[in-house]
């Protein structure tokens, strides 16, 4: 009987530690924000999982047993897309159930992906040094061979251009103009091993930099540049451990950082006093006029400068950007073309949520 009891204790201990390990960060590579459920999703390369981090900091396993080494991720409507080796794997965003996988012919190691306004998805392959372009509508595929990139890594779409980082001893950013199908390369001899790249949609870009290939001694950092002066990189945040595919969260106004070699995640606020998903704030209030299919935005106090009004959908994707002049007391936002769902309005550091229903 004592041997059976001891055996049960051992089995319980193994199960307990297995569950604990399965819910730990293990080379976190990419992060995306699921606004509908107010949670971050994190790809775990070493364990082959996708984890979910709730707004109460509870970490759980979201997807398990479907992928070998999940890396870059992207949310498109109600679907989570993950690159794994040479495949694009599709999951339902609500429960993580498997939908399908799409093998990208000619790919070896897909690392990151982004999407444009026309439903084209762009993948970087760090081994093949190629850009794969997948049309979500007709399922067609184009392949582009980088001419100037060493090891293409992070990628982000912005205003008909792709910004691609390189993972090498002398880091680069390659700007690919989709209208002219041409590359412009920027070299940064003072920095090494670029990873993820994001933009705030207003001309500022943030780049993850390892500095050391292993990056085990907190030398990683986040750099930033303006689209008007790409050559001028400045240091934004230091003390990171292998920062990978960083994510700009416009709703929380923060950058989420998966620390690949540190097995942690970090959150860097871009401003203080951010109203997080609140219907009311200090600057404006929102009234929905269903008859005219518009929102009336009334300002509670005078603006101190010209501001931009941003509208995001529940997936954190920018829907509209308009400039508000200094002396405006209100603004009418036309909702033609918007489908029913949850949206967020952001002006400065003030955010309000609104619902479009039938």
Please tell me the predicted confidence (pLDDT) of residue 216: 67
Tell me whether residue 33 is exposed, middle or buried, using C-beta atoms within 10 angstroms of its C-beta: 0 to 12, 13 to 18, 19 or more.
buried
Residues in the chain, pLDDT under 50: 1-21, 272-279
What is the DSSP code string of 22-83? HTS-SSEEEEEEEGGGTEEEEEETTTTEEEEEETT--EEEEE-SS-SSEEEEEEETTEEEEE
Judged by DSSP in three states, 176 sits in strand
Contact in structure between 321 and 314 (CB atoms under 8 Å): no
Q: Which of 194, 178, 296 is nearest to 242 (CA)?
A: 194
Please tell me the predicted confidence (pLDDT) of residue 280: 57
Contact in structure between 161 and 199 (CB atoms under 8 Å): no
Show the tokens assigned to 345: 């309005």
Domain boundary assignment for the chain: 2-269, 284-356
Task: Give the DSSP H or E segment for 6.
Answer: helix 2-22
**Is the CATH number of domain 2-269 2.120.10.30?**
yes
Length of the chain: 358
Distance separating alpha carbons of residues 315 and 324, to the nearest angstrom: 24
Show the tokens assigned to 34: 């699921």
Please tell me the predicted confidence (pLDDT) of residue 44: 97
Please tell me the predicted confidence (pLDDT) of residue 164: 98
Please tell me the predicted confidence (pLDDT) of residue 14: 38
Please tell me the predicted confidence (pLDDT) of residue 276: 39
The answer to pTM > 0.85 is no
Angle at 343 between CA 339 and CA 346, to 5 degrees: 140
Please tell me the predicted confidence (pLDDT) of residue 329: 86
Please tell me the predicted confidence (pLDDT) of residue 278: 45
- 284-356 has which CATH code? 2.60.40.3080
Please tell me the predicted confidence (pLDDT) of residue 315: 65
Distance separating alpha carbons of residues 31 and 15, to the nearest angstrom: 28
**CB atoms < 10 A from the CB of 236, how many?**
17
Please tell me the predicted confidence (pLDDT) of residue 304: 77
């Amino acid at each position: 009987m004592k041997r059976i009891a001891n055996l049960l204790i051992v089995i319980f201990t193994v199960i307990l530690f297995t569950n604990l390990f399965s819910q730990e960060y293990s080379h976190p590579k990419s992060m995306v924000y699921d606004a509908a459920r107010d949670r971050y999703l994190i790809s775990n390369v070493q364990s082959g999982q996708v984890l979910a981090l709730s707004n109460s900091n509870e970490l759980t396993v979201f997807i398990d047993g479907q992928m070998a080494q999940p890396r870059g991720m992207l949310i498109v409507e109600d679907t989570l897309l993950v690159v794994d080796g040479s495949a694009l794997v599709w999951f339902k965003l609500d429960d993580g159930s498997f939908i399908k996988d799409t093998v990208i012919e000619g790919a070896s190691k897909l690392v990151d992906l982004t999407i444009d306004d026309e439903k084209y998805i762009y993948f970087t392959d760090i081994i093949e040094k190629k850009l794969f372009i997948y049309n979500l509508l007709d399922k067609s595929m184009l392949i582009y061979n980088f001419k100037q990139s060493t090891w293409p890594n992070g990628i982000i779409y912005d205003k008909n251009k792709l910004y691609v980082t390189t993972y090498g001893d002398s880091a680069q950013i390659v700007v690919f103009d989709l209208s002219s199908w041409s590359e412009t390369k920027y070299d940064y001899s003072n920095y090494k091993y670029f990873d993820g790249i994001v933009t705030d949609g207003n001309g500022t870009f943030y780049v993850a930099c390892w500095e050391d290939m292993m990056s085990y001694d907190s030398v990683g950092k986040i750099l930033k540049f303006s689209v008007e002066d790409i050559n001028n990189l400045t240091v934004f945040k230091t003390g990171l451990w292998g920062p990978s595919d960083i994510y700009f969260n416009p709703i929380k106004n923060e950058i989420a950082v998966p620390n690949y070699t540190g097995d942690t995640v970090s959150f860097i606020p871009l401003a203080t006093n951010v109203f997080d998903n609140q219907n009311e704030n200090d600057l404006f209030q929102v009234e929905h006029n269903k008859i005219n299919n518009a929102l009336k935005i009334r300002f509670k106090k005078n603006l101190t400068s010209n501001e931009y009004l941003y509208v995001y959908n529940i997936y954190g994707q920018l829907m509209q950007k308009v400039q508000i002049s200094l002396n405006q007391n209100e603004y009418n936002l036309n909702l033609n073309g918007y489908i029913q769902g949850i949206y967020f309005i952001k002006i400065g550091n003030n955010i309000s949520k609104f619902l479009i229903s039938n």
